[in-house]
Amino acid sequence: MDKFNARYAYESLLLMQPHIEFGGLWARDDRFLVSCSSLDKSPLTCDGKQLRDWFHHSCRPVCCPIEITSKVPDGYELINERNESELARLFGEPLTLSELYRELYITLPKSFPLGPIESGAGKVIVSVSRLLTPDEESEINIAFANIGIYFDIEIANSTEDSESNNDKALTGSFDGLTLVLSKSIKGKVPNSILSSYEEDEEFWIDNRVNVFSSDICSRKDVLKPPFLRKTSACFIDATVFPPKNIRTYLPIYQRLIISMPLATHFIPALDAFSVQEADLLHLIERGRVQFILPQSIERYNLDFIAKVIEINPNSILFSRRLAAASVAETRSRLPFLYPPFGASAKRDLLRLLVSISEPKIKPIGEVLAKNLSQGWVGMERNISNRGGMGTANNGVGTMIGELIHTVAGKDLRLELITSSMSIEWAAAVGATYCPIENNGYSDFNTANLCASLYSGVRNSPLVNPMKSLEPFMEGLLTLNNDAPVLEVDDIFTSSDIDRLGRYLKGMAGFDDPSAEIGILNEKIRKFETNQNRINRLDILGLGGVAVATAMTGNQYVPFGLWIAQYILQNADPSRDVGGKAIDWIRAINTRSSTDAVLVSRLRSRIKGS
């Protein structure tokens, strides 16, 4: 049994140094050895350090009795690596006390009297607020076994009151991005919020194995029907930056999916939307507005969330379900970011990437391999802790940011990571992304770049995604006024919005949409007599088979599938000894993307008709 996270250390070694051949993890009693036949030749890490020194200072968990050796003595047994299911369950992860508490809390029944956890002298001490029943004793032993904790477990009855226990267990447990447990908000929020939040926790425990280990998991498997409606939708990130007037979006999209403003930015967001809270609640009731909550719930306006849940509990998508949908949708477009298998097969993928012989693609493969290896280490734990915010380390923005930094020397990583999260969330809920544009700042260019790689790049030997940012439609008009928002909704909620939405998604064939645009524009002109308060909207379609073909006559494929083709054509198949990685690449290479990730942009104000 691995009490010392040796498997974690070995798997991290495989992923972070894929160019070095290792012969497995071996154990005898409480000693572990990593076999490396080339150790006597003093192999160097990817960044030029001595392997053994790097392993002990930058990879091996503290106090883990593990060494790298060129030859394994007799008497040692080969230890299997963790499979994808174990990785998803965080089995054998080097958890902190707060992370262990989190896993126990969301795994055990809510009635379990769980208190603070401490460690010491080779054991874990679990405080409980009352004596455990025989069934509860079995439940906590099973929970520890599922996490892979094999230290002695001591159950200690606590004399402190329950509220004190909760505070002690949760104090200092979480950073700003870690999702708080429902236990920490119990008694502080309405029961409707607590119930919805607990449901999101339970959903993650029930579904995370499928999310990480199943190659067929789809966003349709994890989202509730209201977020799968086949109507036009736009995604607006109002977390911090103020959005546009809400009347800008209502005439064009049937649903506005908003990343909810943080509590400190809630009132400014309403002012920017130019809408009263009561009118916004009416739009929610009509099914015109929905929200996603990527961050921890205590960072939002809880009173408003309670009102939303009372009106329509299915109009809010909490962070864990959002993360599941993002992983599933991203894998369908960029399978390399979330491959559904263990460390050895992932290592084989990395070795295939660095073994690409085609000169123009080889540097891309090397950068991708380095970026992916860093993202895969601890990936499941990071997303389990942070939900939707945890996908940042594995998104397309991280990947393209590293490529640009390496090839061009420009550091756009932070901007690209931020934009890619919004693009991926928008794709997860099937919406067009409306970039942030405020006081001279715009993420339009970075969003376009992320979307082009996420949805499609030209199926040709050269990667030049910027050339694919071609207008799909121009000439749409929108409102930017202070007319009663519900009156705007009454006038423009019609079938022509749905028809327009189908054009935006490339699902209505390749007929000229100018007639639909003309009908909508005429309504806008009649409604608003002051032409200075009309905006022109620009829609860009990035990739996607249907839309890209309509724009240019050329086929587009998602970047991940494009890379898969080059691996099959140019990589050294001998680097995949077991064949699992190559077989998987062949499978994903047969997929195609049938819709585009769209980005809409508000252009400058126009005058006249």
Per DSSP, the three-state class of 59 is coil
Query: Of the ranges 261-265, 436-440, 575-579, which is most confident?
Result: 261-265
Amino acid making up residue 466: M
Rounded mean pLDDT of 544-555?
34
Residue 143: the pLDDT is 93
Q: What is the pLDDT of residue 463?
A: 35
Rounded Cα distance between 499 and 340, Å, is 37
- Cβ contacts of 523 within 8 Å, gap of 6 or more: 251, 491, 492
Counting residues of the chain whose pLDDT is more than 90, the rounded percentage is: 50
Is residue 173 scored above 80 in pLDDT? no
State the pLDDT confidence band at 131, using cuts at 50, 70 and 90. very high
What's the Cα-to-Cα distance from 227 to each of 233, 320, 374, 541, rounded to whole Å?
10, 15, 32, 22
Q: What is the dihedral of CA 278, 282, 288, 289, to 10 degrees?
A: 40
CB within 8 A of 276, min separation 6: which ones? 270, 485
Two tokens at 349? Answer: 């993928």
- Reported as a single tens digit per residue, the pLDDT across 513-529 is 677 788 888 888 888 87
3-state DSSP: the chain helix, strand, coil percent, rounded to 5? 50, 15, 35
Amino acid letter for position 393: N
Average pLDDT for residues 242-266, to the nearest whole number? 94
Q: Which residues pair with 600 in a beta bridge?
A: 539
| Cβ neighbours for 477, distance < 8 A, ≥ 6 positions apart | 520, 521, 524, 525, 534, 535, 536, 537, 606
What pLDDT is attached to residue 160?
Answer: 60
Q: Is the model more confident about 384 or about 570?
A: 384
Q: Rounded mean pLDDT of 290-297? A: 97
Sheet holding 289-292, edge to edge: 316-317, 289-292, 255-259, 233-237, 432-434, 597-605, 534-542, 471-479
Identify the CA nearest to 254 among candidates 299, 289, 291: 289
What is the rounded average pLDDT for all residues in the chain? 84
Please name which of 205, 434, 428 lies closest in space to residue 323, comparing C-alpha atoms. 428
CB burial readout 482-512, b (16+ within 10 A) else e: eeebbebbebbeeeebebbbbbbbbebeeee
Q: Residues 445-467: what's their mean pLDDT?
A: 60
**What pLDDT is attached to residue 512?**
65
Which range among 26-30, 468-472, 521-525 shows the weakest confidence by mean pLDDT? 468-472
Name the pLDDT band for 595 (thresholds 50, 70, 90): low
What is d(CA 146, CA 159) in angstroms, rounded to the nearest whole number?
29
Integer Cα distance of 20 and 28 in angstroms: 24
211-215, 310-314, 548-552: lowest mean pLDDT where?
Answer: 548-552
Mean pLDDT (whole number) for 147-169:
70
Residue 332 tokens, joined = 């369908």
Asked if 287 and 226 count as a contact pair (C-beta separation under 8 A), the reply is yes
Whether residue 165 is predicted with pLDDT greater than 70 in this model: the reply is: no
Confidence (pLDDT) at 461: 41
**What residues have CB less than 8 Å from 115, skipping those under 6 apart?**
126, 127, 128, 129, 158, 160, 165, 168, 169
| pLDDT > 80? residue 270 | yes
With CA atoms as reference, report the closest residue to 513 among 531, 534, 498, 493. Answer: 498
User: How far from 354 is each of 402, 404, 557, 566, 579, CA to CA, in Å?
Assistant: 15, 18, 22, 12, 17
pLDDT value of residue 378:
93
Question: Residue 140: which pLDDT band, with cuts at 50, 70 and 90?
Answer: very high
Q: In this predicted model, what pLDDT tens digit does every residue of 337-378 receive, in sequence order? A: 999 889 999 999 898 888 887 787 788 888 889 999 999 999
Least confident of 99-113, 240-254, 461-475: 461-475
Cα(366)–Cα(359) distance, integer angstroms: 11
Radius of gyration of the chain (CA): 26
The pLDDT score that the predictor gives to residue 76 is 96
Quote the CA–CA distance of 404 and 88 in Å, as a whole number: 31
At 239 the pLDDT is 96
Specify the pLDDT at position 464.
34
